[in-house]
Chains A and B, each alone.
Chain A
Amino acid sequence: MASYASILFSMILVNNFVLVKFLGICPFLGVSKKFDSAVGMGCAVTLVMVLAIAVTWPIQQLLYAWGLEYLQTIAFILVIATLVQLLEMAIKRYLPPLHASLGVFLPLITTNCAVLGVAILTIDEGYTYPEALVAGLGAGLGFLLAMVIFSGVRRRVEEAEPPEVFQGMPITLISAAITAMSFMGFSGVIDHLFGA
C-alpha cells in the first residue's frame, strides 16, 4: 500500500508532469487563462491518462511477447489517438452533460505529450499494472493541480501591468518559473514520508 501512496504522491508533487517534467506545456500555457477551463482540461487529461495506461500497458506486454518493442511509439500514439476519439463519441452518446464540460478538451489531448509521456514512462519504470494505473492517476492529478494553481496565478498577472516587452507570453513563462520554484520544495518530502 505504501508503495502505491509513494508513487501517487511523487507523481503529483515531486515529479509533477508540467512543472518538473515539462510535459503538456501547450495546454498548460494555452488553457490556464480561466479557472473553469483549467479544471475541465485537467479532469479530461486525468481521465485519458488512466484509460491510456489501462490500454497501453497490456499492449506493451504483447509487444514484448512478439519481440516488437521498437514499434512502441507507433503503437502507443495510434492507440491513444483512437482511444480519445472513441471516448469522445462514448461521452457524447451516454453522458451529454459531461460532454458539454469536457468535450471540447478531448480532441486537444490526442497530441498531448503528457499522455504519451506517462504511457512510455510507466513502461520505462517497470511498474506493474496496478502501479502503472496509480502512476497515471497521480500524473493526471498533478497536471490538474498545476493547472488550477497556475490559473489563479495568471488571473493576478492579467491585472498587473508588466513592461511592454514582457506582456503576454514572457510574463506568463516567468510566473510559471516562480510556480515551478515552489514545487522544488517538495523534492525531499516523499523520501521522508515513505522512506522510499
Chain B
Amino acid sequence: MAANPSLTTDEPTLANTFSKGLLEENPALRQMLGLCPTLAVTTAVTNGLGMGMATTFVLVCSGVVVSLLRKAIPSSVRIPAFITIIASFVTLVMMLVKAYLPALDEALGIYLPLIVVNCIVLGRAEMFASKHGPLQAAADGAGMGLGFTISLSLMSAIREVLGAGTFLGVRVLPPFVEPMIIMVMPAGGFAVLGLLIAASVYLEQHPRHKHKVVKRSTQPSASLCAACPINCGIGDPTNEECAKDEFVEMLEAAVAAAKKEKEGDA
C-alpha cells in the first residue's frame, strides 16, 4: 500500500475526517488497536487522560510531518522513516512530561516511550497521513487521538471507581462499599475491556439506542463483504445472507457448474 497520489483527489471534509475516529473507527474499541496502553495504564483516570493526550499529541504531530514529507519519502523505506518521525515526537513528549508533570511520568513509566510501538500511530501514518494533505492528517490524528482518549478515560473511570472507590482521586463510593481490588489488577483490565467492547457491539446491533445513524464500520469484515455475492455493505456476520462463508460459496459454485454441465449434455 504505497502512497498513491491518485487517492488524494477525493478528499473528505475535515469534520468527517475528525469525527470518524470518535465512534465509527474508534481505535481502541472498534479497531482493536493500541490495546497494550489501553489495558496497562487505565488504573486511574488521570493516567488514562494523560496517556490519551500524550498519544493524541504524537498522532497529530507525526501525522502532519508524515503528510508533509509523503512525496519526499521513497515508499521502500517509508516504514523506518515513519518510525523515526514518530520516535522523535515521543521523545519530545517524554521530555515535556518529565519536566512539567513528574507525577504522571512516574505513573506511566515504561508505557510513555512505548507510544512509539503503539499500532494506532504507525497505522494512521501508513493508512492515512501518507495519502492525504497536512490539514486532513492533523484532523485525522486529532479525531483518532480524541477517540482513544475517550475510550481510555471511560475505561479508567470504570476501573478507578470500582477498584479504588475514587474518581480523579476523590472518594465517590460510600465508605461501607468495599472497593473491588481486582478491577485495578491486570485481570480486571481484560474483563472491563471485554465488557466495553461487548457493550459497543450491543449498542450497534440495537439501533434504537443510537442518537444518530452511525455507519457500520466495514473495517473488520471488508474481505467478507467483498467475497459475498450480495455485497449489501452491511458486513454483518450474524446476518444469514451475509454469513455465507467461502466454503458455502465454493459448494454453490460447484453445484451450479455441475448443473450447467448436465444441461450442456442434455
Give the B-binding residues of A (Cβ under 8 A): 19-26, 29, 70-74, 77-78, 81, 111-113, 116-117, 120-121, 124, 164-166, 169-174, 176-178, 180-181, 183-184
Other 12 A-B pairs with CB < 8 A, given A70-B94, A111-B119? A23-B40, A29-B32, A73-B94, A77-B83, A78-B83, A81-B80, A117-B110, A121-B110, A164-B205, A166-B194, A173-B191, A177-B189
The interface residues of chain B lying within 8 Å CB-to-CB of A124 are 109-110
The interface residues of chain B lying within 8 Å CB-to-CB of A23 are 36, 40, 114
A/B interface sample: 22 pairs, CB < 8 A:
A21-B186, A23-B36, A25-B36, A29-B32, A73-B87, A73-B91, A74-B88, A74-B91, A77-B87, A78-B87, A111-B117, A113-B36, A113-B114, A116-B114, A120-B113, A165-B205, A171-B194, A174-B195, A177-B188, A178-B187, A180-B189, A184-B187
Min CB–CB distance B239 → chain A (angstroms): 12
B15 at the interface (CB under 8 A from A): no
B108 at the interface (CB under 8 A from A): no
CB atoms of B191 and A174 under 8 A apart: yes
Residue of A nearest to B196 (CB): A170
Name A's interface SS. helix
CB atoms of B39 and A22 under 8 A apart: yes
Q: Which of B36, B90, B188 has the most CB of A within 10 A?
A: B36
Identify B117's interface contact among A20, A21, A112, A173, CB under 8 A: A112
Q: Which 5 A-B pairs have the closest CB atoms?
A: A173-B194, A177-B190, A22-B40, A177-B191, A170-B198
Min CB–CB distance B163 → chain A (angstroms): 13
The interface residues of chain A lying within 8 Å CB-to-CB of B254 are none
The interface residues of chain A lying within 8 Å CB-to-CB of B238 are 164
B201 at the interface (CB under 8 A from A): yes
Min CB–CB distance A127 → chain B (angstroms): 14
Min CB–CB distance B90 → chain A (angstroms): 6
The interface residues of chain B lying within 8 Å CB-to-CB of A178 are 187
The interface residues of chain A lying within 8 Å CB-to-CB of B117 are 77, 111-113, 116
Q: Which of B80, B116, B198 has the most CB of A within 10 A?
A: B198
Min CB–CB distance A73 → chain B (angstroms): 5
The interface residues of chain A lying within 8 Å CB-to-CB of B118 are 113
The interface residues of chain A lying within 8 Å CB-to-CB of B91 are 70-71, 73-74
Q: A113-B36, A117-B110, A165-B205 are in contact. Are A73 and B116 (CB under 8 A)?
A: yes
B101 at the interface (CB under 8 A from A): no
CB atoms of A184 and B185 under 8 A apart: yes
CB atoms of B113 and A25 under 8 A apart: no
Min CB–CB distance B41 → chain A (angstroms): 9
CB atoms of B116 and A170 under 8 A apart: no
The interface residues of chain A lying within 8 Å CB-to-CB of B222 are none
Min CB–CB distance A67 → chain B (angstroms): 14
Min CB–CB distance B184 → chain A (angstroms): 12
Docked complex Cα distance between A68 and B201 (Å): 47
The interface residues of chain A lying within 8 Å CB-to-CB of B32 are 29, 169
Q: Which of A19, A26, A72, A177 has the most CB of B within 10 A?
A: A177
CB atoms of B114 and A74 under 8 A apart: no
CB atoms of A180 and B197 under 8 A apart: no
CB atoms of B110 and A120 under 8 A apart: yes
